[in-house]
Amino acid sequence: MTDVRTGDPGQWQRKRVFIRTYGCQMNVYDSDRMADVLRPLGYALSDSPEQADLVVLNTCHIREKASEKVYSELGRLRDAKLERRREGSDLTIAVAGCVAQAEGAEIIRRQPAVDIVVGPQAYHRLPELLAQVARKAAERQAGGRRQPGAGVLDTEFPAESKFDHLPAPGGVRAGSAFLSIQEGCDKFCTFCVVPYTRGAEYSRPAASVLQEARALVAAGAVEITLLGQNVNAYHGEAADGATWSLARLIREMAEVDGLLRIRYMTSHPRDMDDELIEAHGTVPQLMPYLHLPVQSGSDRILEAMNRGHGRDHFRCLVDRLREVRPDLALSSDFIVGFPGESDGDFDDTMRLIDEVGLAAAFSFKYSRRPGTPGAALPDQLPEAVKMARLAALQALIGRQQREFNVSKVGATVPVLFAEPGRKPGQVLGKSPWLQSVYVEGGAAMIGKIADVRLVAAHALSLAGEIPPSLEAAA
């Protein structure tokens, strides 16, 4: 294998990388950034591991199932690697993301076929890691036997931020782009691995965020979603030395010509300050949809989760947000079966959902994560209890989601079209409330916003029509 930094481009331009992304939007963003880092080394993206020279698993450690999936995938990749070697070629295997950060060298011990383990703060060093792998491969070819555990590892949290090193993203898809502005978390919810795998909270300087926002708009973005593990804890340094809040950043972004939609995720109820609530009423580009995870509706469980607020705080936030933006739709995250959760606690969660009304939600059975305080708590609940509660909660959310969709039938709303629909001759897009809307139309509409009359609601999508008077504009 050529040294990827100094080799002949003609030789390595043909390389292909397959990146499999598990987990959250932050990982989707990071996978794009890894592709950006690898491109100058001659790696083109591949659609399948079979055609790739390098496979990167960008992993998620948030629930047990997510990490176990990684090891079964690694078993399959090891077989593929052995097969390649028999044929005289090779396959480089890299594990990135939160499992890489949490388990580090243990991954190489469990699966010696792994060449690289790289934590989420070290992606800018991928070229150097690949060069190390190439050197080891050269040694092996020269006759030295490769010992198990010879993979290279980089899970340092560097003093400098990776944002300073990663290339600017070019990732505008159908008018939409993600922009990562904040990483890590200092909140230490007792169920969650993120503070351990992603490290301390860090906000990116405001000027570099604005510069990237302008570049994304220039590249065709009409919608930008600001990303962060705790995005509303954002406190980025501005050029004049002041600290900008998320609200301030949003107001400044709203000044960028051509940027029509701004969203942010994921936020924490504790960081919904007055200024940010007000922005929902005053910044028209800020979409009327907020993902605000509450996890539980029981004060006792919220306390045990170390969430730092009670159910009344959440209810009050929702009331205040709807006061300034009456059409605001809410989504949230829930965990059922946290240790010690009683029937009464679970009822409190169901009542909270009833009271606030949701347009969508993600819900999970509590998953015991090694090293988190929750894992050591007594009164871990049986799987059957968790399953029954999850089913009841999901049924309630499903009803609310359908009701929300039905409530919009008859309205004419702007839809940003993103992709071809399921049936030929249809295009699919997103309403301001992130509902999937499909209409009759062609690929020319993708990346554009058009006014659509919503005519029918289903559980997960809405059918729309472009009114004849507006068809020409679309």
**What DSSP string runs through 25-77?**
HHHHHHHHHHHHHHGGGTPEE-SSGGG-SEEEEEE--SSHHHHHHHHHHHHHH
Q: Tell me, what amino acid is at 253?
A: M
305-334: which residues touch ligand 5AD (CB under 6 A)?
333
- Residue 185 near which of ligand 5AD, ligand SF4, none (CB within 5-8 Å, type-dependent): ligand SF4
The answer to whether the CB of 122 falls within 8 A of the CB of 98 is no
- Residue 63 near which of ligand 5AD, ligand SF4, none (CB within 5-8 Å, type-dependent): ligand 5AD
The site that binds ligand 5AD (CB under 6 A) totals a number of residues, namely 12
CB of residue 72 to ligand SF4, shortest distance in Å: 25
User: Which C-beta is closer to ligand 5AD: that of 159 or that of 384?
Assistant: 384
Joined together, the tokens standing for residue 405 give 């969709």
State the residue for tokens 């079209």: 417
CB of residue 62 to ligand SF4, shortest distance in Å: 8
Q: 124 vs 105, 118, 121, 409, 414, CA distance in Å?
A: 20, 10, 8, 47, 38
- Residue 364 near which of ligand 5AD, ligand SF4, none (CB within 5-8 Å, type-dependent): ligand 5AD
Neighbours of 136 (CB within 10 A): 17
CB of residue 322 to ligand SF4, shortest distance in Å: 23
Among 100, 126, 133, 192, binds ligand 5AD (CB under 6 A): 192
Among 18, 163, 289, 366, binds ligand 5AD (CB under 6 A): 366
Name the site residues for ligand SF4 (rule: CB under 6 A). Answer: 185, 187-189, 192, 194-195, 229-230, 268
Q: Which listed range, 296-304, 365-373, 388-396, 420-428, lies at the site for ligand 5AD (CB under 6 A)?
A: 365-373
Q: Measured at CB, which residue is nearest to ligand 5AD?
A: 333
**What distance lies between CA 187 and its chain's CA centroid?**
18
282-301: which residues touch ligand 5AD (CB under 6 A)?
293, 295
d(CA 300, CA 217): 45
Among 335, 361, 390, 474, binds ligand 5AD (CB under 6 A): 335
CB of residue 367 to ligand 5AD, shortest distance in Å: 4
d(CA 115, CA 136): 10
Query: How many C-alpha atoms does 59 have within 13 Å on its Cβ side?
Result: 32
